[in-house]
Each structure stands twice: as C-alpha cells, then as structure tokens.
Structure 1
Amino acid sequence: MVNPDSSALNLSRAIHIKQVSCQEVMQSTLERIARLNPQSNAIVSLQEPELLMAQARERDAQLARGESMGWMHGMPQAIKDLANAQGLRTTLGSPLMKDFVASEDGLMVQRIKAAGAIVIGKTNTPEFGLGSHTFNEVFGPTRNAWDPSKTAGGSSGGAAVALAQRLLPVADGSDFMGSLRNPAGWNHVFGLRPSQGRVPMSPAQDVFIAQLATEGPMARHVADLALLLSTQAGAHPSSPLSLTGDPAVFAGSLDSDPKGQRIGWLGNLQGYLPMEDGILEVCQSALKSFSGMGCAVDEARLGMPPEQIWQAWLVWRQALVGPRIAPFLINPANRTHIKAEALWEHDQSLGLTGSQLMAASASRTRFYLSMLALFEKFDVLAIPVAQVWPFDASLRWPRSIAGHPMDTYHRWMEVVIYATFAGLPSISVPAGFGANGLPMGLALIGKPQGDMDLLKLAHAYEMANLEMINQRPPGV
C-alpha cells in the first residue's frame, strides 16, 4: 500500500526494501493524478499510462537483479515545462512552442533520470515563466491547492500544487523572481532557491552574464528538498561559474541545534513594501517558533535604499529577459501570440545601453556589499515570501496592494528580489495560514553559499512545527 503522505526519503526506502513495488507507486500516482489533476491542472503533457507502467516494471526488474540506479529509483517525476526532457514537449507555456518536442534532456533532467526517476510529464508554468501566476494559452491556469478559485503562484506553480496534492514526492522548479519560493509559500510546501552557481543550467545561450535565474528543488519536507538538491547540484564544464563543492553533502544529516542563531527580521522594510493585512502577523508568528527554539530574532534594515535596488533590478531583468523573447519576434506576426507582459519586457530592453547595465551592476555590487555587512550582525535574514495572499485566478496580476498602485506587472513581487540580486540562497518555509484559510510562506535568506546551514535551520523549524506543516489541502 502506497502512502501518499510518505516523504520521498521514506518512499525511497520502501521501494528499495521491496515494501512497495515501483509499479504500485506508479499506479497509485496515476490514480491520484486522474482524481485531482483535472481541477488543479498542475501536471501537463502526461505520458501514456502503459508507457509509464512499462518503465516501472523495468525498475522493479532492476531491483530484483540487485541493481539500483539511485535514491530516486522508480519515483515518478514531472519536469517544469521550461526544462527539456527528451521526447516530451517543452512548450514554455507559449502557443508558439506548443508543438516543440525536446530531442535531448537538459542537465538537471539528466541528473534526475540518472538517480532513477521516471519522468511522467511536465508541470505547468506561465508563458515564458514570466509572472508569479501560472496560466497560459496552451494548458490554461493551474489552481491553488488550498482554494481552486485562487492562483497557484509561479512560475513553478504546477510543481508546488503537484506536491501539495501528493501527486509527486518531490519536484524541480526554477527561480528568477521568486519562482521557487512564492508558489511554495502559497501552497504550503518548501522551495529552495540555491546559491548562485549551485545548480548549473545547461544548455544555455549565455553562461557568464545570465546568472539571476537558477533551477532548484521543492518538497514537502526539508530532508527531501536537500536530497533533490544533492542530485541537481554539482559543477559542470558547460557552466564555468558553477560551484565546485561536493553536492553529496546535502544528502547528509540535517540535525543541528539552532540555539543562538541570529535572525534578522526585514519585515516590510520599515513600511517601504506595501503588504496585505495579515501577512506580517502570520510570518511573525512563525518567527516566534524560531525564538522558542533558542534563536535571537531582531529587526534588520537593508543598508541601501530599496528603491535604488529596484531600479537596478529593473535594468538587469530587462537586459536578461528581453533577449529571451527577441527570437520569437524575428517574425513580427508572432507579437499577437505573445502575452503583453513578455512584450513589455522585450520592448523595454530595446532602449538599454551598455553604460546603463554597468551602472546597474555597480548598484548591484553596492547592494551585495551591504548584505555582507548585514551578515556580520545576523546569521539569517527573514522576510515574507509574498506581499499579497493568493489572488483570484482570473486576474493577470495585482494592480494594487493595500491601496498602493503597482507600476509594473511584477512590482507586487518586489519582496523576493533581495536574495536573487545578491546571489544568496533562500528557502520558503510554511509560515501558517491567514484568517482567509490560505497559506503563506516565510523566506529565510542565508549567507553566501550557506545552503547547508539554511537547510539545517529550516529542518529544525520543520521538526518543531510538524503538526502545522503536515496539514493537507481540502479534498487531498
């Protein structure tokens, strides 16, 4: 009997001691997808059941011969629809890509398959991965696991909902502007944005400048998150800025004593970031748990005006996102098939100059140095993972927050940029639920390359809050 609440680690153990077969796991997964996915639309491009069951039988045959491919042996896995998986469509959520079938696996998918996972399909994402609201004209919207009338977040929205609904044991995602953290917070799971360079992306058009986006893990439990990171991470020759540390460390023990850890609470940056009612209170309630574990929680202040950070961020984002859209506009007729937000990113990028990018890079450098100064006072920084609660799925994006108008389609996500812009690891942990019954996440930001320390602190938090963290969405 397959327990859908089982951690990925426990599922791996059960498979390897033959307590459950890979075929039983696959059959159970497909049955859950058939029951729950029609409403949530988390998993797309699902492969034929006969093909998947045949792969599961082969995994069982390998175990019968005493052969194991790795800790993910026989585990169903769906890949975010921005990454290539051989033989599956990579649509990017764009009607212009709806028929593109990948001829080879991306590096991250290669590593997941090498660990024994069976790729069953894809997880849904916004068009080109832009915006923290998973909807597109190819597959439609992905709906929040806790309230199907609300957004799942994004761009790893399909992955987060698939986890919350127990359709997958772990999930991969990617993060440019909070895309691993925001949907995790809105679906009551864990999402880790690794340190810059921890998880190399290959193939990639540019491997030197485009370092703001990264792939990473999502999971219902921190130990599972760390295990998937150990599979995804590791230097690769095609990615010259990738970190060279041994990724096997993330498969080790996460046990630690958090007593004495210094946590700096950034909150709403002294009123700079507008936030909907109840978000700060839920996150501060989570911080009380850290205090109860012996951590010292104190107010922290950014060492640089946040508006300067935002303006530098805009330049960097447009410089990196605009060229991603440009190839689709070689044919001008394609403009009618590209969402307005992507066109805005492209059109804004056309006026950028090299001197503007260098000036923004200098601002980014000052910001990074100011973060280093903060880490002389604190071991970890904490901030809400979102400025709004999950909003109506029919909206494209929030036009205002608490009466404050948003001047771009992503200004409402400003809270997530600080870890990204400094290249720091950040994990979204479930903070609890608002009066509206919707989940919210708390983002913990670690020191440079401090992924393991961050995972240990999040694991201690999980162990202290198991009853809250193990809550299941309605009907799951």
Structure 2
Amino acid sequence: MVNPDTSAIDLSRAIHLKQVSCQEVMQSTLERIARLNPVSNAIVSLQEPELLLAQARERDAQLARGESMGWMHGMPQAIKDLSNAQGLRTTLGSPLMKDFVASEDGLMASRMRASGAIVIGKTNSPEFGLGSHTFNEVFGPTRNAWDPGKSAGGSSGGAAVALAQRLLPVADGSDFMGSLRNPAGWNHVFGLRPSQGRVPMSPAQDVFIAQLATEGPMARHVADLAMLLSVQAGAHPSSPLSLNDDPAQFAGSLESDPQGQRIGWLGDLQGYLPMEGGILDICQSALNSLAGMGCQVDEARLGMPPEQIWQAWLVWRQALVGPRIAPFLINPTNRDQIKPEALWEHDQSLTLTGAQLMSASASRTRFYLSMLALFEKFDVLAIPVAQVWPFDVSLRWPDNVAGRAMDTYHRWMEVVIYATFAGLPSISVPAGFGENGLPMGLALIGKPQGDWDLLKLAHAYEMANETLIAQRPPGV
C-alpha cells in the first residue's frame, strides 16, 4: 500500500528497494486523482490510465533488470500547462491554444523524464500565466486545497493544489511575479523561485533580455524540493545566461545550524504595502520560530523608494509580456478570445520606447545594488508571500486591499516583485493559518546565487515546525 504522505525521497527509496512497485504507485495516484481532482481541478489533460499503468510496468521491468533511470524513476509527474511535454496539449490556458499538442519536451520536462518521471498530464494555470489566480476558459478554475470556494493562487496554482492534496510527490512550476511562491503559501507547501539562471528555460522566445521568469520546484518537504532542483538545474547551451554550478549540490545534506543567522524583516515596507488583517501576525509567528532557533531577527528597510521600484517593474513587465501576446494578435479577430488583463499588458507595451526600458533598467540596477547593501547587514530577508488571503474563486482579482484601491490587475501582488527584480532566490515556507482557517506563507529571500544556504535555512525551519508542516487539507 502506498502512503500518500510519504515524502518523495522516501518514495524513491521504496521504489528502488522494491518495497512498492511503480505500478502500485501509479494506481494509487490515479485513484486519488479520480477522488479529489473533480473538485479541485488541479490536474488537466490527464492521460489514459491504461497508458500510464503500462509505462509504470515498464519502469518496474527496468528495475527488475537492475536498471534505474534516476531519482524520479516511476514517479508520476504533471507538467505546468505553460511548458511543453511531448504528446500532451500545451494550452497556456488560452482557447487559442486548446488544441496545440507539443511535438517535443521542454528542457525541464525532458530532464525530469530522463530522471525516470512518468508524465501523467499537466497542471492548470491562468491564461498565459498572467495573474496570481488560476482560472481560464479552457479548463476553468483550480480551487484552493483548503477551501474550494477560494482561489488557489497562481500561476502554479494547479501544481500547488496537486501537492497539497497528495496527487503528486513533487511538482514543477514557474515564477515571474510570485507564481511559485504565492500558490505555495496559499496551499501550505514549499515553493522555490531559484536564482536567475539556475533553471534554464528552453525553448524560449528570447534568451538574453527575458530573465524575470524562471521555472523551479515545489514540494511538501524542503529535502524533496532540493532533490527536484538537482534534476531541473544546470547550464544548457540553449540558455547562454544559465549558471554553471553543479546541480548535484542540491542532492546533498541540508542539515545545518541556523544559530546566529541574521534575518531582515521587511514586513509591509513601513506601511507602503497594504495588507489584509492577520497576515503580518502569522508571518511574525513564523519569524518568532526562526528567532527561537537562534536566528537574529531585526527590521530591514529597502534602500530605495518602493514606488520607484514598482514603476520600473511595470516597464520591464510590459516590455517582456507584451511581445508574448503579440503573435496571438496578428489575427485581430483573436482579441475577443484573449483575457482583458493580457490585452492590457500588450497594449501598454506598444507605447514603450527603448529609452524608457533603459531608464527602467538603470532603476533596476540601483535597486539591485541597494539589495546588496542590505545583504551586508543580513543573511536572509523575510517578507509575507501575499498581501491578501485566498479570495473568492469567482473573483478575477482583488481591486481593493485593506481599503486601498488597486490601480492594476496585479498591484495586489506587489509584495513578490523584490526577489524577482533582483534575480534573487526566494522560498515560500508555510507560516501558519489565519482565523479563517486558510494558509499563509512567509517568503525568505537569499543572497545572489545563495539557493543552497536558503534551502538549508528553510529545512531547519521545517524541522522545527514539523507539526505545523504536517497539517493536511480537509478531506485529504
């Protein structure tokens, strides 16, 4: 019998020791998907069960011959529906792409398959991955694992819910504006936005300028997350700015003593970021846990006015997102089939000039240097992973936060941009639950290319909060 709470590392060990067969793992996974997925809608484009069971039997036959493909041998895996997996639809959540079938794997999917994963389907995402709320006109909304009436976050909402409901042992996702971190925080799992260049993205429309988005891992345990990163990471010729570090480092021991680590608490940036009630309190309790482990927690302040950072961010985001939407508008009749938020990004990008982008790049440089100055005082920065609790699933986006009107469809997510804009690693760790019973995450931000040190701190936090981390959604 397969225990759905088994960690991915322990599951891999059990498969390789033949304590459980790949076929049994697949059968158990499909049964859980059949029971829970009709409500949550986390996994889409699910492949035929007999096809998947046949692949699982072949993995068992390989083990019987003494052959293992790697750590993920026989593990069911669903790829986020923004990335290609050979033979499966890549819809991008868009009606315009609902029939597109990928002819080859993307780089991340190919690396996971090479490590033995069996791709069972895709995980749901918002249209074009825009907006931290997973709904689209192709598959409908993904519902929060803790309350089906609430948003799962996004854009890796399907991945986060699949993890929380034990439909997958680990999951992949991607992150531009918090898309790995926000849904992780809202579904009580871990999500890591790796350092810029850590996980190369291929194929890509542009490999030199478009560096704000990155793919990365999600998991219920930090050790599992690190192991998946060891599969996903590593330089590739198609991604000239990818990092050359050996990804095997992430398969090492995470044991460490956090005593004396200096943590800078950014909070709501001295009142700049509106926050719904209770969020700061929950995150403070997580910080108290870190302090109880011997970390030194002090207030931190950005060395640059946050409104300047936001204005530079808008230019960069529109410059990168607009051209992604443009090919779908070559045929002008397609406008009616594209969500208004994507059209807004595209239309705003049409007025941008090269001078504006260079000015925004100079602002980004100043911000990066200000973050380096902060890291002379602190080892890690901490900030809430979201400004609002999971909201009603029927709402497109919150237009008001704590009495303050939001002037764009993503302003309510402003809290996540700082790690992205500086290219820094950031992990969302479960912080606890509000009076509403919904989860919230705390984002820990590491130094440039400090993924390994960040993972070790997150692991120590997990070990100190095992009872909290082990909580499961209702019905799971």
RMSD: 0.2
Q: 1:349, 1:2 → 2: CA distance?
A: 50
2:80 maps to a residue whose letter is: K
2:2 match? 2
Deviation for aligned residue 1:189? 0.1
Q: 1:34, 1:352 → 2: CA distance?
A: 47
Secondary structure of the equivalent of 2:428?
strand
Q: 1:439, 1:50 → 2: CA distance?
A: 36
Q: 1:124, 1:452 → 2: CA distance?
A: 29
Q: 1:406, 1:228 → 2: CA distance?
A: 36
Q: 1:383, 1:205 → 2: CA distance?
A: 32
Q: 1:311, 1:362 → 2: CA distance?
A: 12
> What percentage of residue pairs aligned between the two structures are identical?
90
Which residues of 2 match residues 3-402 of structure 1 at below 5 A? 3-402=3-402
Q: 1:105, 1:322 → 2: CA distance?
A: 25
Deviations 1:88-111 (A, max 9, x none): 000000000000000000000010
Q: 2:286, 2:56 → 1: CA distance?
A: 40
1:462 match? 462
Secondary structure of the equivalent of 2:392?
coil
Q: 1:433, 1:44 → 2: CA distance?
A: 28
Deviation for aligned residue 1:185? 0.0
2:289 maps to a residue whose letter is: S
Deviations 1:16-70 (A, max 9, x none): 0000000000000000000000000000000000000000000000000000000
Q: 2:309, 2:205 → 1: CA distance?
A: 26
Moved over 3 A (4+): none
Q: 1:351, 1:141 → 2: CA distance?
A: 32
1:424 maps to a residue whose letter is: L
Q: 1:371, 1:26 → 2: CA distance?
A: 45
Unaligned runs of 5+ in 2: none
1:444 maps to a residue whose letter is: L
Deviations 1:312-346 (A, max 9, x none): 00000000000000000000000000000000000
Deviation for aligned residue 1:162? 0.0
Secondary structure of the equivalent of 1:315?
helix
2:309 maps to a residue whose letter is: I
2:372 maps to a residue whose letter is: L
1:387 maps to a residue whose letter is: Q
Q: TM-score, normalised by structure 1?
A: 1.00
Deviation for aligned residue 1:224? 0.2
Q: 2:70, 2:383 → 1: CA distance?
A: 36
Q: 2:323, 2:470 → 1: CA distance?
A: 42
Q: TM-score, normalised by structure 2?
A: 1.00
Secondary structure of the equivalent of 1:112?
helix
Q: 2:179, 2:203 → 1: CA distance?
A: 20
Q: 1:203, 1:278 → 2: CA distance?
A: 41
Q: 1:441, 1:301 → 2: CA distance?
A: 20
Secondary structure of the equivalent of 1:371?
helix
Unaligned runs of 5+ in 1: none
Deviation for aligned residue 1:11? 0.2
State how many pairs are aligned: 476
Q: 1:284, 1:295 → 2: CA distance?
A: 13
Secondary structure of the equivalent of 2:192?
strand
Secondary structure of the equivalent of 2:85?
coil
Deviation for aligned residue 1:281? 0.0
Deviation for aligned residue 1:143? 0.1
Deviation for aligned residue 1:205? 1.2
Deviations 1:335-391 (A, max 9, x none): 000000000000000000000000000000000000000000000000000000000
Secondary structure of the equivalent of 1:443?
strand
1:336 maps to a residue whose letter is: D
Q: 1:59, 1:296 → 2: CA distance?
A: 48
2:360 maps to a residue whose letter is: A
1:419 match? 419
Secondary structure of the equivalent of 2:20?
coil
Q: 2:313, 2:354 → 1: CA distance?
A: 15
Q: 1:58, 1:402 → 2: CA distance?
A: 54
